[in-house]
Chains A and B, each alone.
Chain A
């Protein structure tokens, strides 16, 4: 199969993923307990106003098909409708938050990679003690993201970027280490080392080109890992990004926002998945 067909197939798969995300989110939120409720209903002062609003919405959004039609209409009109919670256009809400989340993700992933590579390079070249040196990453992997973030806040050390970087590093380190270990021990590397080539030259000329396709696949994994951690990190550190918005939308059953966030996440995951296409393309080349 030639690579344009592969790209078309992957793009199709991504589109399907996006559609499934939208449909799944709509179904899950519509049938989530408390979809037709408002916390103000418990406040004797504001309960009648809240009830009126809920009744109006109930009449418009009783069935999934009604919701789906309205979503499609909003999407075709170039937006995602109005947020139930904030009463402003969803596109405006998300648009303001994307740069913050993107910056956080970029810094976290780059930081994580830096950490993982900086640790994996020397550890992979060790003949003994590699397992012991890997222990901090194994421990990091076992710590829940929320616990790591809370510890940062309580100790007033580090911030969202550090937590994200540590998480990405912990996930990537194991793969990078085994990749690099294999590369270090390959016969041509042994010969290069015997010839006295410096580690920098070995890494640059012999290791990186060989592991590049796998690194592309690992990038996809890093993006997905970082996206998964975005919600707890932004919520705990109060970063006004897309993750925090998604959390607030879940807590308030804000369907238009959740559908938009799901679509956005699905797009990012889908396109990140396309990064790993480099592997077969390179292999074919």
Chain B
């Protein structure tokens, strides 16, 4: 019997040993390779067909572009183009290419390749998302007077046209290669769906550092496809990843405890977290509820009763900035510093509600017709910060007698309720602003847009203030005068603060974790964060960070 026990324990021990070996996750790192995780598979490696963020990142890392937006100065810088010039009327852009440019396969890069790549993006058959930024892509004409000159003729001026060229990768003419032959710092070498994307250094990349050393420094990039934050952090702490681009606030402290020098809170991001009331006439809600949500006093009272500092402190562990307006203070150029916002005050909120015909019966608020004020806040499941905010808002609104329930749905279900059925009372979500220029927000602010969340796809603006926002947004998108644009955007911010169609809650801070071994990092709040200057990043000796998750 003793031998039976002995062999049983031996077997169990062997099993535990073999099982623990099966836990390795990251693919082995090549020497000099920089590695980090992305959360889902890129849908395409064709730079012209990019239509989501993972593909956008691969395009950024592999695609050579005529101009690159410097993520720190926010100014366009010549890349494959040695210089560029925009005509005074804004309808002609002339790019002069660098001499001796080559693709990663050694083929020469000339103006014919640049023109072909631009025409491919403009071709409706390509379905390039970036083409829409040319406003009338079919009317854009490209010509190449010589092997180093590309001319882009626009039908009319486009404000901030330079930044569009940051998104157009130059490929070899008539040889689209899905990122395998590139003019950027890296090229796609290997892709295992659901596992990783491996990029290798482009030996023919045009750029050299001040000492004349060929860039990029890194021999390659490995993007692991990993949708598990705990594992990502664990692998980062073990030194298998060099960075975490967007570190959730709830994990910031955990990583900081293990390696305080690796985490960085860069302050408010351009992104906003906000809630809005469903004002769509098509919404399947009782008429009295719709009338609350259309009532400015009701929205302002709600805004005044929310304690934003508490939201930032508790829901984001202090890694967020209270928000009162459309444009984050991080966007210094466009933020309205003189914005007047309704002050946080329960007493003022009660007064406004009373003036609007609402009355209290014990702890419950009633409207003039005697309906108790009850509604639900819809948000997405799987976002702890949002769910905490919703719970805190529930408590805040209880102080002014509003009864709130929280509904958390997975994203597809939420989108259906929000975008297709308009079957919700209040929604709490975030908006990611990848670009600081307000023109990128047109889709959200124009009343005719499907992304005009509180009342989408309006044939004509439902209210005067929405009509004014439409006019101002069109003005800022078309005026060549910076002062006029700034005035228009400031006014939009003030209208939104007055009307509260969006009740802004917080600007989540930009949280990044960067391995101390990664050199050359110039952090930026703009996408793609710490890797925006990927060609200048290099790894020092391989040494894991101390501790584990």
Contacts and interface: CB of A to CB of B under 8 A. Distances in A.
Interface string B209-232: 000000000000000011110110
B43 A119 contact: no
A86 B54 CA distance: 12
Could you say which of A40, A97, A236 has the most chain B C-beta atoms within 10 Å of its C-beta? A40
A161 B129 contact: no
A127 B132 CA distance: 79
B174 interface: no
Contacts, number: 176
A97 B230 contact: no
Nearest to B16: A162
B246 interface: no
A238 B22 CA distance: 12
A199 B3 contact: yes
A256 B1 CA distance: 54
A119 B420 contact: no
Contacts of A122: 1, 4-5, 8
A119 B8 contact: yes
A236 B228 contact: yes
Interface stretch (A5-13, A41-49, A70-78, A261-269): A41-49
Contacts of B548: 156
Interface stretch (B143-151, B291-299, B439-447, B484-492): B439-447
B392 interface: no
Could you say which of B3, B451, B549 has the most chain A C-beta atoms within 10 Å of its C-beta? B451
Q: Which of under 10, 10 to 19, 20 to 34, or 35 or more describes the interface residues of B?
A: 35 or more
B230 A150 contact: yes
A130 interface: no
Contacts of A159: 19-24
A52 B131 CA distance: 15
A40 B411 CA distance: 10
A185 B155 CA distance: 93
A157 interface: yes
B415 A44 contact: no
Contacts of B24: 159
B234 interface: yes
B51 A35 contact: no
Interface string B415-443: 11111100000000101101000001111
B463 interface: no
Interface of B: 1, 3-5, 7-9, 11-12, 15-16, 18-25, 40-41, 43-44, 51-52, 127, 129, 132, 192-195, 225-228, 230-231, 234, 409-420, 429, 431-432, 434, 440-444, 449-451, 548-549
Q: Report, nearest first, the 4 A-B pairs whose CB atoms are least far apart.
A: A34-B412, A159-B23, A162-B19, A240-B194
Interface of A: 32-52, 86-88, 93, 96-97, 107, 111, 114-115, 118-119, 121-122, 125, 150, 152-154, 156-162, 165, 199-200, 203, 235-238, 240, 244-245, 248, 251-253
20 contacts: A34-B413, A34-B414, A34-B415, A37-B420, A41-B419, A42-B415, A44-B441, A45-B434, A86-B193, A87-B43, A114-B15, A153-B234, A153-B549, A156-B549, A159-B23, A161-B18, A161-B19, A200-B4, A240-B225, A251-B411
